[in-house]
């Protein structure tokens, strides 16, 4: 997952305070009436079928419609699934075309359960009456026969509220493991690692006993189901006693980024960890497989990770070389500016379409970890080159130089105060206000609410 600013949700964490965090993420839909109507039609169809069916011996299933639950397999199309369940082809075609109004059936994921509904008929084959599934926890989609003949689709989106969750942990082997031990969802840990990849070398900078803190959003439906995670609002890595807190902040032009406490963007022109940091093998205690850092003998950085781990372009640039390169094995070199290039060695394979002259952006996957060339095991050998010579990546710190100032800085300082407090409060286990109030409507602050 990429922390591309443009694609981040437009949730505003700002001087207005954190009350906005608790608003429902999904506004009730205007079309809800039509959907409710349709849902009612479906229920009525069930009921009708139930009454018709009452004299027939059937296992109790809560409804007399026959429900066949299908699971999407690899390469399955909905058409194949329906016809495989004995839905006549023309009816399947109609139902799918109705579904397209609310859902693109090509987006069905492997493992998605789809319930296909049949109305049992005496002396005739069961009649296909519709289907339903939940592509997301907070969204259900259905297709039902309407007026007996035509199919119509509907979707119901459940209201989702955002809660703030705080977690902290001591790092024993890796940040990722510490996160999962503390119950932090994988997506949140990946976002944290990804964000810190600008300034932390996850293989070498972490020591046992280092700590981290994180404050993130959790989306919860009205019926209490976790619908996923929102953004990481605050994180802090405490490495050898040095705290490096980062805060998510929206500047006035709407851009969202992470800043250190001084209001400096934490972005760098080059990533310190140009690999999926969640997959790194533990840097500590690996006596037999030293994960080498930069030295006279070894002019690069080694990142130990399983074969196939994605490798990222450390910065924006142009691919200068992509191919076999002797002891380096499969090798990529990217030129970032007139002086600085980065090189990646021992790849198992290159990303699709990666070739000399291709433009890459920071964070693009350029290839995958392997052990080609002269290598004793799967790892990424990474070099930073300045004027063609390998240099210690630590010596090349290229901040983007974005620093908030003036009123932007003041607004950011308010964000810092809000998030620091939100973290303390969430950590203290304070019950967050279960508020459904829309944004901008301040009903005042009650105990336990973040205002
Ligand atoms: Zn190496």
User: 395-440: per-residue pLDDT in tens?
Assistant: 887 777 789 999 999 999 999 999 999 999 999 874 444 333 344 3
Asked if residue 384 has pLDDT above 90, the reply is yes
The residues placing their C-beta within 5 Å of ligand 1, an ion, are: 300, 302, 381
Residue 35 has what pLDDT?
47
Two structure tokens written together for 336: 């970032």
Interior angle at CA 137, CA 136 and CA 143, nearest 5: 60
393 touches 294 (CB < 8 A): yes
Instruction: Say how many Å lie between the CA of residue 272 and the centre of ligand 1.
Output: 15
Name the residue among 189, 184, 147 with its Cα closest to residue 167: 184
Interval 174-191 mean pLDDT: 88
Residue 148 has what pLDDT?
66
Instruction: Say how many Å lie between the CA of residue 297 and the centre of ligand 1.
Output: 10
Asked if residue 98 has pLDDT above 80, the reply is yes
Instruction: Say how many Å lie between the CA of residue 344 and the centre of ligand 1.
Output: 10
Asked if residue 448 has pLDDT above 70, the reply is no
Residue 172 has what pLDDT?
86
Domains of the chain, each with CATH number or no CATH: 1-26+159-267+399-451 (3.10.450.350), 32-157 (3.10.450.350), 275-398 (2.70.70.10)
**Per-position DSSP letters for 114-136, written without gaps between them:** EEEEEEEETTEEEEEEEEEEEEE
351 CB-near residues (< 8 Å, 6+ apart): 364, 365, 366, 367, 368
Helix or strand run (H / E) with residue 438: none
Instruction: Say how many Å lie between the CA of residue 153 and the centre of ligand 1.
Output: 57
Instruction: Say how many Å lie between the CA of residue 195 and the centre of ligand 1.
Output: 24
Lowest mean pLDDT among 176-190, 254-268, 419-433: 419-433
Name the residue among 451, 402, 129 with its Cα closest to residue 266: 402
Interval 102-116 mean pLDDT: 94
User: 343-356: per-residue pLDDT in tens?
Assistant: 999 999 999 999 99
Instruction: Say how many Å lie between the CA of residue 275 and the centre of ligand 1.
Output: 14
Instruction: Say how many Å lie between the CA of residue 239 and the centre of ligand 1.
Output: 24
Instruction: Say how many Å lie between the CA of residue 383 and the centre of ligand 1.
Output: 8
How far, in Å, CA of 419 to CA of 79, rounded?
49
Instruction: Say how many Å lie between the CA of residue 1 and the centre of ligand 1.
Output: 27
The torsion angles phi and psi of 267, rounded to 5 degrees, stand at: -65, 145
How far, in Å, CA of 366 to CA of 309, rounded?
11
Residue 289 has what pLDDT?
56
**How many angstroms separate the Cα of 283 from the Cα of each of 57, 196, 201, 240?**
64, 17, 10, 15
Instruction: Say how many Å lie between the CA of residue 391 and the centre of ligand 1.
Output: 13
Q: Is 450 or 225 the better-scoring residue by pLDDT? A: 225
Instruction: Say how many Å lie between the CA of residue 291 and the centre of ligand 1.
Output: 8
Q: What is the mean pLDDT of the chain?
A: 81
Instruction: Say how many Å lie between the CA of residue 353 and the centre of ligand 1.
Output: 26
Interval 309-318 mean pLDDT: 96
Residue 85 has what pLDDT?
93
Residue 273 has what pLDDT?
94
Asked if residue 79 has pLDDT above 50, the reply is yes
Instruction: Say how many Å lie between the CA of residue 292 and the centre of ligand 1.
Output: 6
Residue 43 has what pLDDT?
53
Name the residue among 201, 329, 376, 357 with its Cα closest to residue 277: 201
Residue 432 has what pLDDT?
45
Q: Is 451 or 268 the better-scoring residue by pLDDT? A: 268
Helix or strand run (H / E) with residue 51: helix 32-52
Instruction: Say how many Å lie between the CA of residue 301 and the centre of ligand 1.
Output: 6
pLDDT-derived band at 284, boundaries 50, 70, 90:
low
**How many angstroms separate the Cα of 134 from the Cα of each of 77, 115, 369?**
17, 10, 36
Instruction: Say how many Å lie between the CA of residue 366 and the centre of ligand 1.
Output: 18
pLDDT above 70 covers a percentage of the chain that reads 79
Asked if residue 335 has pLDDT above 70, the reply is yes
Residue 328 has what pLDDT?
96
């Amino acid at each position: 997952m990429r922390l591309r600013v443009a694609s981040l949700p437009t949730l505003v964490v700002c001087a207005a305070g954190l009350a906005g965090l608790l608003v429902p993420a999904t506004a009730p839909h205007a079309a809800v009436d039509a959907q409710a109507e349709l849902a009612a039609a479906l229920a009525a169809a069930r009921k009708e079928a139930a009454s018709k069916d009452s004299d027939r011996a059937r296992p109790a299933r809560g409804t007399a419609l026959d429900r066949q639950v299908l699971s999407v397999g690899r390469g399955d199309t909905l058409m194949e699934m329906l016809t495989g369940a004995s839905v006549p082809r023309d009816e399947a075609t109609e139902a799918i075309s109705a579904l397209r109004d609310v859902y693109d059936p090509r987006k069905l994921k492997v493992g998605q359960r789809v319930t296909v509904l049949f109305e049992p008929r005496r002396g005739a084959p069961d009649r296909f009456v519709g289907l339903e599934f939940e592509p997301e926890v907070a969204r259900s989609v259905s297709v039902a026969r309407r007026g007996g003949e035509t199919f119509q689709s509907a979707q119901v989106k459940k209201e989702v509220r955002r809660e703030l969750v705080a977690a902290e942990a001591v790092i024993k082997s890796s940040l990722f493991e510490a996160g999962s031990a503390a119950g932090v969802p994988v997506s949140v840990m990946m976002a944290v690692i990804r964000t810190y990849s600008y300034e932390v070398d996850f293989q070498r900078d972490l020591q046992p006993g280092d700590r981290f803190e994180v404050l993130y959003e959790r989306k919860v439906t009205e019926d209490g189901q976790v619908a996923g995670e929102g953004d990481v609002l605050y994180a802090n890595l405490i490495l050898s006693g040095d705290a490096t807190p980062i805060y998510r902040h929206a500047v006035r032009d709407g851009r969202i980024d992470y800043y250190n406490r001084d209001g400096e963007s934490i972005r760098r022109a080059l990533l310190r960890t140009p690999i999926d940091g969640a997959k790194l093998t533990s840097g500590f205690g690996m006596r037999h497989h030293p994960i080498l850092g930069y030295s006279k003998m070894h002019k690069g950085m080694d990142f130990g990770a399983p074969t196939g781990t994605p490798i990222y372009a450390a910065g924006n640039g142009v691919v200068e070389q992509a191919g076999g390169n002797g002891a380096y094995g499969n090798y990529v070199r990217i030129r970032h500016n007139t002086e600085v290039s980065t090189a990646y060695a021992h790849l198992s394979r290159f990303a699709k379409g990666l070739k000399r002259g291709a433009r890459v952006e920071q964070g693009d996957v350029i290839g995958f970890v392997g052990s080609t060339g002269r290598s004793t095991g799967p790892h990424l050998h990474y070099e930073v080159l300045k004027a063609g010579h390998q240099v210690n990546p630590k010596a090349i710190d290229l901040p983007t130089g974005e620093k908030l100032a003036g009123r932007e800085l003041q607004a950011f300082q308010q964000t810092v105060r809000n998030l620091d407090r939100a973290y303390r409060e969430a950590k203290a286990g304070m019950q967050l206000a279960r508020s459904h109030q829309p944004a901008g409507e301040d009903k005042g602050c009650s105990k336990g609410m973040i205002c």
